[in-house]
Each structure stands twice: as structure tokens, then as C-alpha cells.
Chains A and B, each alone.
Chain A
Amino acid sequence: MPEATGTDDIDGVQIDLISGQRMDGMASMEKIRMILDGVHDGNIVILEEGLTPDEESKLIEVTMAEISPDEFNGIEIETYPKSGPSDSSLLGRIMGNDESTAKLTVIGPANQIETLHKDETLISALVSRN
């Protein structure tokens, strides 16, 4: 079961890696609920297979509804592999032109994932695992 859970240390970051298999059996709103529950707890949620465009649109909508001052600022979301500007085939994959291509998706609380951005080794570890 490719699901990893970090520790609950005060200064630790929990990472939930959710397999495509587990997501397959879930309804769209269940997926969104699971993602946002994780993010509300301060976790980084990694989806092995990402979301459909329709689910992404609902994720934005529900995220907006849950933003509240000094508590929750929203999410940061990234999909990998990230394309270079001139690589149109890769971009096509991210754009979802090829529905079958899984896109690893990382979602986290907006106020914390910035730290993740800066951590180059964590991002490259994610990319190489795919």
C-alpha cells in the first residue's frame, strides 16, 4: 500500500501519499474532502494520479468556501512532471490532453508549501520517484 504517514512531531510535516488505486473507488466530493481535511491538518497531500479537470474546478470552489482569516489561507497545488515552456508534449500531458497520463499532484496549505517550494531536494525526489 503506497501510503506514507509522517510522525506527529510538533515541527514535523506529515505527508499523505494517496495511491491511484485508493482514489479510483472514491466519489469526486470524497476525494476533495479527503484532500482538504489533510491540508487543514497542515499535511502535504500527494496524489499518485491527480484529479480530473472537473474535480480540480470543484477543489478550487470548496477551498474558497473554507478560507478563513488567520486560520486557513487556501492551498498551493503543483503537478509533476513540470514542463519547460518549449516542451509542448510534456505540457500537453499536464494540460490533461492525454487523460490516461497520471500526473503526480502535490497539494498543501498555502502558508506552508512555500517552504516545500524552496526545498529543492524534496521536489527532485518527487520527480525522480515518478
Chain B
Amino acid sequence: MGLFTELKDSISRATDRLFSEQEPKRIGIYGPPNAGKTTLANRIARDWTGDAVGAESHIPHETRRARRKEDVEIERNGKTVTIDIVDTPGVTTKVDYEEFTDEMDKDDAVRRSREATEGVAEAMHWLREDVDGVIYVLDSAEDPITQVNTMLIGIIESRDLPVLIFANKIDLDESSVKRIEDAFPQHKTVPLSAKEGENMDEVYDNIAEYFG
């Protein structure tokens, strides 16, 4: 494509967006630490834009800043749904640096925990002001009834945000999707494995339906 056509193209894309009725909805990916939020965000971004969002790790609080991937265009049944995805740090009410000292030295552990606390505060702020919908990611191999999950879902409901619950890690033997469905019967639960890419069609169908 010539420079000129490319320019024209991008100007018309920009004006399209300017004059389209809606900005892309900003969808926050929330959930407790280590649930697989970044793995999911990366999979969505890779599937539809070709690049990734952030680092994944078995050590909790890997994500310590909310990260946004803009204009993710998801195609479903001939229609295109455009969303911004925001990968957020796992929410908790406590952070103890000693949790990380097995994996790193004390200075790094202290830094990680300080960044984690700032990140959680930032994530709460986004939730109150800057997101239009929420994907709540849970590790389906763990008990979903925790105070943090209950509080967070309550906060999301009180803001009247559309919410989907993602029961992640269904590839694990201990996974129980039913336990999550029973815990939050008022919301739609979608089973998946973000890591293995299982059930992603249903994931995208639901994203298009709920946030399109």
C-alpha cells in the first residue's frame, strides 16, 4: 500500500471512530491474584491483534499496573465488536512481602509488594471510574467463596456494570465449574482454559453478546 493510501485509510478510520456512536467499551479483567487474568488478556490480544499485553507468572502479583490494549476487534457472526481490554493487578486485602522471599531476595520482594499494593489501589480506582464492563476471572480449581470475590462482585454489581464470570483453568483435574456457578448464580459463568485455549469460541461469543 502506498503512503498516500495508507494515510487516507488511517484518516478515514479515525473519522469513522470520531463519528461512530460509541467509543470502544473498556472491559476490565478483574479477579484474585494468579487466576490467569494476564494469560487471558494475552490470548485475546494475540487472537485478534497479534501481540501480547503483559507478563504471566506463577508468582502472585505479577501484574502490578493496569495495562490497556486498545481497539481489540472481535469478529462474531459477520459483526465486529471493538473493545479495549484492561488487564488489572489481582485484588487482595493484604500483601506480605515474605510471600515472595522464597523466589527472590528481600529487596526485590519488598519492591514487588509495594508495587502490588499500588497496583491494587489503582485497579480499585479503575473499577469505580473507568471501566464499562467486567470479566471476572477465577481459578476454577480453587474455592470461589472468598471475601475478596464476594466483595468485588458486590462492588461490580453496585455499579451496574455488565459482568461475565470466567471459570479458568478447566484443564486442571481439581477444576470445578459448578462450584463457581453455584457461588454466583446471578451471573453467567463461562468455562475456559486461557493457557490451553480451550472453549475460546464460547468466550468470544459471550464477550460479543455482553459487551458488544
Contacts and interface: CB of A to CB of B under 8 A. Distances in A.
Interface stretch (B11-19, B86-94, B190-198, B199-207): B86-94
A62 to B, nearest CB: 8
B3 interface: no
A85 B142 CA distance: 13
Contact of B179 (A53, A61, A85): A85
Contacts of A78: 147
Interface in B145-187: 145, 147, 150-151, 153-155, 157-159, 179, 182-183, 185-186
Interface in B63-95: 91-95
Contacts of A64: 95, 117-118, 120-121, 124
Interface string A46-80: 00000011101110110111010100011111110
B158 A54 contact: yes
A124 interface: no
Interface stretch (A4-12, A14-22, A23-31, A89-97): A89-97
Contacts of B93: 60, 63, 74-77, 110
B120 A60 contact: yes
A56 B93 CA distance: 10
A53 B145 contact: no
A79 B113 CA distance: 26
Interface size class of B (residues with CB under 8 A): 20 to 34
A53 B158 CA distance: 7
A56 B183 contact: no
Contacts of A97: 157, 186
Given A67-B113, A67-B117, A91-B183, A76 B94 contact: yes
A34 to B, nearest CB: 17
From A58, A78, A95, name the one whose CB has the most chain B CB atoms within 10 angstroms: A95
B117 A65 contact: yes
Contacts, number: 94
Interface residues of A, number: 32
A75 B117 CA distance: 12
B160 to A, nearest CB: 11
B51 interface: no
From A67, A73, A74, A77, name the one whose CB has the most chain B CB atoms within 10 angstroms: A67
Contact of A85 (B95, B120, B153, B182): B182
Given A63-B93, A74-B92, A95 B154 contact: yes
Given A52-B158, A110-B93, A110-B94, A94 B150 contact: yes
B128 A57 contact: yes
Contacts of B155: 53-54, 56-57
Nearest to A59: B93
Interface in A89-117: 91-92, 94-97, 110-111
Contacts of B159: 53
B150 A61 contact: no
Interface of B: 91-97, 110, 113-114, 117-118, 120-121, 124-125, 127-128, 145, 147, 150-151, 153-155, 157-159, 179, 182-183, 185-186
Interface of A: 52-54, 56-58, 60-61, 63-65, 67, 69, 73-79, 83, 85-86, 88, 91-92, 94-97, 110-111
